[in-house]
Structure 1
């Protein structure tokens, strides 16, 4: 692992203003976030703050919030978010050298909204392949060396079989010394053995085992009986 603890100290803030109004952000300010496994999944409903959190973690590590590798740090000229500029890390033993020097930091931030533009900047020519194939090109070509790899809903562009391929890349990456933090809605991805799963919501943040995730329960019940859900949304 590269990092074992993330935290943020802010001298003063308005609790009713974004992002301080987001429960998981307040949890980060109060207690920090400990990483107990090489792969951490953040799950929660839309608006729960998981994307806000992973973007800030990527920024705190020195990755461009627009997306891309450590080689393109702030190439988009976007300023750090108000949360990202306050993020600090405690290094795991294997990550002390990397956190001790900006030039030594390695990693990649893949966010669904800007992935194609970031991949084009990285030289992957995504216009010549499908959206999902462009994502997989990044996994194959950039998720290789030890470093911190942050992903925001990578399943958005991937089929079932491509999600399985992604898990294979993630497994190999952590065996090579990498660490992954991923915000997701996918019960397939979160089933990765040994991964730490943190559910974010009105409660803030809490660790949950896969079989007890709300998203796993909903998918299980929907696949067993779609009509039990559809009757509430279709006339």
Structure 2
């Protein structure tokens, strides 16, 4: 483990303004988020703030908010996000040694909407392969060193079998001393044995077993009877 707690250090803020208005950020300000496993999944509906959180964690570790590895420090020349400026990470002794010097710090931030640009910049997204194959090339080539790997909806470009391959890479990465924090909508990814699942919503943040996740329940119901859902959205 590298990171064991995430919190925000803010002297004053307006609860009506974004991102402080997000329930998950309010919870982060009050109690922080304890990281209890080498792989943490953040799950929630669109707009709940899970992407905001993972971006801030990446920035807090020193990764570029645009995406990419530790070798590309702020390559996008974008300022940190409002939350990223104030995020704080409590590290384990091993993590403190890694974060103590820039040359020792290892990691990667993979975000779906900028992934191809970041991967192409680092030579892992050849134009002769598909979007998903470019993702997998990055996993094979970059996700192996001990470090912090932050991902925002990596399943967006991946097929069912490619998601399974990703889980294999994640498991090997953890065995090599890596840590993963991932925002996702995928019931397949969140089924990884031993992973910690944090559900984000109007309640803020809470730990949930995979079998109790709302997204798992919805997928079960949909696959059993698609019409029970489609009748509400189709004429």
TM-score (norm 2): 0.98
Q: Please name the residue that 1:157 is paired with.
A: 157
Q: Please name the residue that 2:37 is paired with.
A: 37
User: Does the CA contact (< 8 Å) of 1:60 and 1:87 recur in 2?
Assistant: yes
* Mapped pair 1:10 → 2:6: no
Q: Please name the residue that 1:167 is paired with.
A: 167
The 5-angstrom pairing of residues 105-144 of structure 1 reads: 105-144=105-144
Return structure 1 stretches of 4+ with deviation > 6 angstroms. none
Q: Please name the residue that 1:103 is paired with.
A: 103
SS of 1:126's equivalent in the other structure is: coil
- Aligned pair in 2 of structure 1 residues 125, 183: CA closer, same or farther (>3 Å)? closer
User: Does the CA contact (< 8 Å) of 2:5 and 2:90 recur in 1?
Assistant: yes
User: Does the CA contact (< 8 Å) of 1:112 and 1:152 recur in 2?
Assistant: yes
User: Does the CA contact (< 8 Å) of 2:125 and 2:137 recur in 1?
Assistant: no
CA distance in 1, matches of 2:181, 2:74: 20
CA distance in 1, matches of 2:158, 2:202: 29
Stretches of structure 1 lacking an aligned partner (at least 5 in a row): none
User: Does the CA contact (< 8 Å) of 1:149 and 1:178 recur in 2?
Assistant: yes
CA distance in 1, matches of 2:10, 2:104: 27
CA distance in 2, matches of 1:109, 1:119: 10
Stretches of structure 2 lacking an aligned partner (at least 5 in a row): none
Q: Please name the residue that 2:65 is paired with.
A: 65
Once the two structures are superposed, residues 54-96 of structure 1 have per-residue CA deviations (whole angstroms, 9 ceiling, x without a partner) of: 0000000000000000000101101100110111111113212
CA distance in 2, matches of 1:126, 1:61: 28
> RMSD across aligned C-alpha pairs, in angstroms?
0.8
CA distance in 2, matches of 1:228, 1:215: 16
User: Does the CA contact (< 8 Å) of 1:151 and 1:181 recur in 2?
Assistant: yes
Q: Please name the residue that 1:201 is paired with.
A: 201
Aligned residues: 235
Deviation at 1:126, TM superposition (A): 3.3
Deviation at 1:148, TM superposition (A): 0.2
Q: Please name the residue that 1:176 is paired with.
A: 176
Q: Please name the residue that 1:224 is paired with.
A: 224
TM-score (norm 1): 0.98
User: Does the CA contact (< 8 Å) of 2:3 and 2:91 recur in 1?
Assistant: yes
Q: Please name the residue that 1:234 is paired with.
A: 234
SS of 2:232's equivalent in the other structure is: coil
Deviation at 1:184, TM superposition (A): 0.2
SS of 1:217's equivalent in the other structure is: helix
Deviation at 1:140, TM superposition (A): 0.3
The 5-angstrom pairing of residues 180-195 of structure 1 reads: 180-195=180-195
CA distance in 2, matches of 1:187, 1:215: 7
